[in-house]
Amino acid sequence: MPAGQYGHVLRPSRYAERVNDDRAAIHAVLDEALVCHVGLVVAGRPHVIPTLHVRVRDSLYIHGSTAARLLVSARPAPLPLCVTVSLLDGLVLARSAFHHSLNYRSVVIHGDARLVDTVEEKTQVLAALVDRVGVGRSQQCRPPTSRELAATAVLALSLDDESTDVALKRRTGPPSDDEADLTLDYWTGVVPVRLTAGTPQPACDIPLPGGLAPSLT
Amino acid sequence: MPAGQYGHVLRPSRYAERVNDDRAAIHAVLDEALVCHVGLVVAGRPHVIPTLHVRVRDSLYIHGSTAARLLVSARPAPLPLCVTVSLLDGLVLARSAFHHSLNYRSVVIHGDARLVDTVEEKTQVLAALVDRVGVGRSQQCRPPTSRELAATAVLALSLDDESTDVALKRRTGPPSDDEADLTLDYWTGVVPVRLTAGTPQPACDIPLPGGLAPSLT
């Protein structure tokens, strides 16, 4: 699992310069993963916070508990963030220890986040966040009150801003052993992995509506 | 999904002061998750890199491609890192948009990493990393050559070092709606999620040995 084994690495580049296929691949990763990891610098030290995110058009939005406390301190200046979204796709078992690896897709975004401060944008983003756990879920629950909206901090990272860098990386496919190892008698191949939903655990006695978490089905 | 809804949050504290139950819970998260997110500061900006990790006794070890390039620059001084390991356990669907949440377990480690420089420790750690994808896998493949060992960078973060902070957080259990919302007629409950293994895809014609990735079975 050392340096250099990745089957396909796309170099960081401006989001705006990317061709459509590439943007679609970036969106697919952002839209499938439920959790991102937000990196920020506090008093010179790195902090990494896991939190839910949502992409709306060409912006990535985050909000959240611990995140909020650290992140809100950014106001009014934009806050330098690194948001990493990664999906584990498989365990890659090579004939050599050295070429063991993971299949994955990841998007790393470097940019300056702004605090969302209009009720309209905040309302739209919070509905989109709720819809991440199920298609149309924001219409199947009580909407936020203005007090709840005021209590919630939302940050936006524009993907197509001049100062934003977006890097897509992935490894796919079978192990890539050295020629000399190909005759060794060890099992080799890929074990695919994915996040799956279990049986819902209701806390009520009405039936579960359909359309939950599309990336889990 | 705003601030303050987490059911159970353990405050950061010294690893050495934790009771056994707590250490066991920390180890369980580190040992179940296959991927961690490593945060570091480069030229004043945050970077977050996903990579495989392994815990050996009271140290967390990482190595990896992109990671290596950034991290090796640390030598000879210890490198300030934040390593976050998070497991998504469930989608929490409340009657109100505001109380939607995620069930999760996460461990956040703030510490100064050292570069592993003895062949013995490096060999042991790389075997442990390979064993993460399957029990005993390091014995079922060609071990690293000295050239491969030299080409691989490994970093260690001591969990019980005086200067290391370890925080365990988790949310478990059903949604926690406001009293006033309990009579609303929306489905509410938890949809459990977990990482699962699919059918192995062999790249050879010998049978797959048992014991793959215990956290996936």
pLDDT tens across B187-216, in order?
Answer: 999 999 999 999 999 999 888 776 666 566
What are the CA-CA distances from residue B73 to residues A8, B51, B76, B178 (Å)?
24, 17, 8, 51
State which residue of chain B sits closest to A83, comparing Cα positions: B48
Across the interface, of A100, A134, A198, the residue whose CB is closest to B133 is: A100
Tokens read off for A89: 């796709």
State which residue of chain A sits closest to B198, comparing Cα positions: A192
What is the count of residue pairs from A and B with beta carbons less than 8 Å apart? 324
Domain assignment of residue A189, yes or no: no
State which residue of chain B sits closest to A88, comparing Cα positions: B35
Strands (E), B101-175: 101-115, 154-158, 165-171
Taking a C-beta distance cutoff of 8 angstroms, is the pair A152, A97 a contact?
no
**ipTM (interface predicted TM):** 0.90
Residues with Cβ within 8 Å of residue B139, at least 6 apart in sequence = none
Most B CBs within 10 Å: which of A87, A141, A152, A177, as the mutation test of the B interface? A141
Q: Rounded to whole angstroms, how far apart are CA atoms A10 and A23?
A: 12
Instruction: Point out which residues pair with A192 in neighbouring strands.
Output: A90
Across the interface, of A40, A52, A142, the residue whose CB is closest to B181 is: A142
Q: Mind telling me how many Å the CA of A176 is from chain B's nearest CA?
A: 10
Q: Rounded to whole angstroms, how far apart are CA atoms A139 and B100?
A: 13
Residues in chain A, overall count? 217
Tell me if A63 and B1 make a contact (CB, 8 A cut-off). Answer: yes
For residues B39-77, one letter each, b for 16 or more C-beta atoms within 10 angstroms of the residue's C-beta and e for the rest, the string is bbbeeebbbbbbbbbbbeebbbbbbbbbbbeebeebeee
**Number of Cβ atoms within 10 Å of the Cβ of B172:** 14
Domain assignment of residue A113, yes or no: yes
What CATH code is carried by the domain that includes residue A80? 2.30.110.10
Domain assignment of residue B70, yes or no: yes
Tell me if A213 and B91 make a contact (CB, 8 A cut-off). Answer: yes
For chain B, the straight-line distance linking the first and the last C-alpha, in angstroms and rounded, comes to 30
The DSSP secondary-structure symbol of B16 reads G
pLDDT of residue A9: 36
Q: Mind telling me how many Å the CA of A68 is from chain B's nearest CA?
A: 7
Domain assignment of residue A179, yes or no: no
CA angle (A130 as vertex; A129, A136 as ends), nearest 5: 120
Domain assignment of residue A37, yes or no: yes
Instruction: Per-residue pLDDT tens, chain A, 217 aa: give them.
Output: 333 332 333 445 567 676 677 899 999 999 999 999 999 999 899 999 999 999 999 999 998 655 566 666 656 678 999 999 999 999 999 999 999 999 999 999 999 999 898 999 999 999 999 999 888 899 999 999 998 998 888 999 999 998 999 999 999 999 999 999 999 999 999 999 999 999 999 999 888 776 666 566 5
> Does B68 score more than 90 pLDDT?
no
Rg of chain A's alpha carbons, rounded to an integer?
20
Which among B155, B166, B46 has a CA at the least distance from the CA of A48? Answer: B46
Tell me if A203 and B44 make a contact (CB, 8 A cut-off). Answer: no
Tokens read off for B175: 């949604």
Instruction: Please spell the DSSP secondary structure of A85-132, one letter per residue.
Output: EEEEEEEEE-SBGGG-EEEEEEEEEEEEEEE---HHHHHHHHHHHHHT
Tell me if B100 and A4 make a contact (CB, 8 A cut-off). Answer: no
Range of the domain at B58: 8-143+151-173
Amino acid at A64: G
Q: Is A134 exposed, middle or buried (0-12, 13-18, 19+ CB in 10 A)?
A: buried
**Number of Cβ atoms within 10 Å of the Cβ of A136:** 12
Contact residues on chain A for B203, CB-CB shorter than 8 A:
174-175, 188-190
Count: domains in chain A: 1
Most B CBs within 10 Å: which of A51, A98, A140, A194, as the mutation test of the B interface? A98
Tell me if B82 and A193 make a contact (CB, 8 A cut-off). Answer: no
Domain assignment of residue B162, yes or no: yes
- Max intra-chain CA distance, chain B: 67
Q: Rounded to whole angstroms, how far apart are CA atoms B145 and B160?
A: 32
pLDDT of residue A107: 96
Across the interface, of A64, A97, A140, the residue whose CB is closest to B143 is: A97
Q: Rounded to whole angstroms, how far apart are CA atoms B10 and A142?
A: 30
Domain assignment of residue B78, yes or no: yes
Across the interface, of B1, B40, B188, the residue whose CB is closest to A129 is: B1
Amino acid at A16: A
Across the interface, of A35, A96, A213, the residue whose CB is closest to B86 is: A35
Domain assignment of residue A129, yes or no: yes
Calculate the average pLDDT of chain B: 86
